[in-house]
Homo-oligomer: A and B are copies of this chain.
Amino acid sequence: MTLQIPAPTPADKFSFGLWTVGWQGRDPFGEATRAEMDPVHALTKLAEIGSYGVNFHDDDLIPFGSDDATRAAIVERFKKGLAETGLVVTTATTNLFTHPVFKSGALTNNDREIRRFALRKVMRNIDLAAELGAQVYVCWGGREGAEYGASQGIAEALDRYQEAFNLLGEYVTASGYDLRFAIEPKPNEPRGDILLPTIGHALAFIETLDRPELVGVNPEIGHEEMAGVNAAAGYAQALWQGKLFHIDLNGQNGPRYDQDLRFGAGNVRGAFWVVDTLLAGGYDGPVHFDFKPARTEGEDGVWASAKACIDNYLILREKAKSFRADPEVQAALEAAKVPELAVPTLAEGEGWRELLDAAPEDPEALAQRGGAFEALDQLALEHLYGVR
């Protein structure tokens, strides 16, 4: 029977950024192909397609350099839009990359005055995030990095990044905000190499902070695939370390420029395993789509692609569930000894001494056992194809 795509509900926590649906299509080789989008219009349309939440960079909502009165009026109007649509602000973040002042970095810029300006910009938007009820504050340090080896000392850059997160942790704590940070790693683009290039590097860095419990990661599928690593495995390690505070779902075709395809496009098998991983790991935060509606499209294409992100997630979630529920799959998992990996290697009460004393295994006999992974994976693929 053909799968019916479920309708999205608030419990699904789908969300989009203003910068996503409002992207005008400016790329390194071309001018904008779409007009600016009014944020309140975006709220209305997002609600229509089944979105639960919305996110923004400070400058998405309030143009850089706005005076206080303009700012207040914009925020007021935006709140009204939220109230009217029922949309929730799930996260907020700071734009530390568009303005030329950030051309050589923000929180780790060699120029101390720019670092101070950046910190202030973050704190100001944290206030707004808290006011609007965001619970996660995303930090993508896209300009923290370098093209060349001598341009900045990595150790010093990590010192300054640590200093910044320690200060921000102190700030939200002192302010009584219920807000946690999520670092979004990326290997490169727009800088030749970016600090904390993968989920792993970010997780490792977090452990050095004063308040590691306040900081997790916000991995983006495309960013991990740009490094040629398995995105689902990265999500799984973040979950395992209790650090998957937020997610950015989209599509990418391997190591190349940041494509930001809609979720489902790109590596479709990878997308399936990401969803399966989120279900297995009990992720219950917002399901956020951070893609760019193709520059070739008019506004109808924006909403078609945004809606498709939601549909594809729902389709893949159904498929992941039916895959795990399928008795043939369960038999294949048994055949591949997958459940046995959950059994500790040591028996109850056993230590290295007992292990050394135990009866030896016969490696030649053990080597005869086939993995049975091909049959298992083919079942997964057939679920993906919808032929079982």
**Who on chain B is nearest to A379 by CB?**
B150
| Chain B binder among A67-75, A78-86, A128-136, A250-258 | A250-258
Whether B116 lies near A341 (C-beta < 8 A) is: no
Within 8 A of B (CB), among A189-222: 189-190, 192-193, 195-205, 207-208
| Residues of B close to A205: CB separation below 8 A | 237
| Chain B binder among A10-18, A20-28, A39-47, A48-56 | A20-28
Q: A294 in the interface, Cβ–Cβ < 8 Å?
A: yes
Whether B158 lies near A237 (C-beta < 8 A) is: yes
Q: A279 in the interface, Cβ–Cβ < 8 Å?
A: no
> A28 CA to B259 CA in the complex, in Å?
11
- Interface residues on chain A, size class: 35 or more
Given contacts A258-B28, A340-B112, A366-B114, contact A1 B1 (CB under 8 A): yes
A105 CB, min distance to chain B CBs, angstroms: 9
| Residues of B close to A154: CB separation below 8 A | 232-233, 236-237, 240, 277
Q: A374 in the interface, Cβ–Cβ < 8 Å?
A: yes
A51 CB, min distance to chain B CBs, angstroms: 17
Q: A66 in the interface, Cβ–Cβ < 8 Å?
A: no
Whether B155 lies near A280 (C-beta < 8 A) is: yes
Given contacts A254-B255, A363-B101, contact A338 B374 (CB under 8 A): no
Whether A255 lies near B258 (C-beta < 8 A) is: no
> A257 CA to B262 CA in the complex, in Å?
19
Q: A296 in the interface, Cβ–Cβ < 8 Å?
A: yes
Whether A30 lies near B167 (C-beta < 8 A) is: no
Whether A373 lies near B297 (C-beta < 8 A) is: yes
Choose from B151, B196, B305 the contact partner of A336 (Cβ within 8 Å).
B151
> A80 CA to B187 CA in the complex, in Å?
46
Q: A125 in the interface, Cβ–Cβ < 8 Å?
A: no
Given contacts A254-B228, A380-B149, contact A155 B239 (CB under 8 A): yes
> A283 CA to B173 CA in the complex, in Å?
37
Whether B257 lies near A100 (C-beta < 8 A) is: no
| Residues of B close to A355: CB separation below 8 A | 116, 119-120, 123, 167
Whether B388 lies near A147 (C-beta < 8 A) is: no
Choose from B102, B333, B346 the contact partner of A30 (Cβ within 8 Å).
B102
Choose from B189, B346, B368 the contact partner of A28 (Cβ within 8 Å).
B189
A33 CB, min distance to chain B CBs, angstroms: 4
> A41 CA to B344 CA in the complex, in Å?
41
Q: A157 in the interface, Cβ–Cβ < 8 Å?
A: yes
Whether A149 lies near B344 (C-beta < 8 A) is: no
| Residues of B close to A315: CB separation below 8 A | 382, 385, 387
Q: A308 in the interface, Cβ–Cβ < 8 Å?
A: yes
Whether B147 lies near A294 (C-beta < 8 A) is: yes
Whether B345 lies near A119 (C-beta < 8 A) is: yes
Whether A366 lies near B98 (C-beta < 8 A) is: no
Whether B228 lies near A255 (C-beta < 8 A) is: yes
The 10 closest A-B pairs by CB, nearest first: A386-B386, A298-B370, A200-B201, A200-B200, A254-B254, A296-B371, A154-B236, A203-B204, A149-B273, A148-B377
A-B contact pairs, 23 of them (CB 8 A): A3-B386, A30-B100, A103-B296, A107-B345, A110-B337, A112-B340, A119-B355, A148-B373, A149-B377, A150-B333, A150-B338, A153-B342, A154-B237, A187-B228, A189-B256, A197-B198, A198-B198, A198-B227, A207-B207, A256-B256, A257-B258, A297-B373, A308-B381
Q: A103-B295, A157-B341 are in contact. List 5 more A-B contacts (CB 8 A).
A: A104-B371, A170-B351, A254-B254, A294-B374, A297-B372
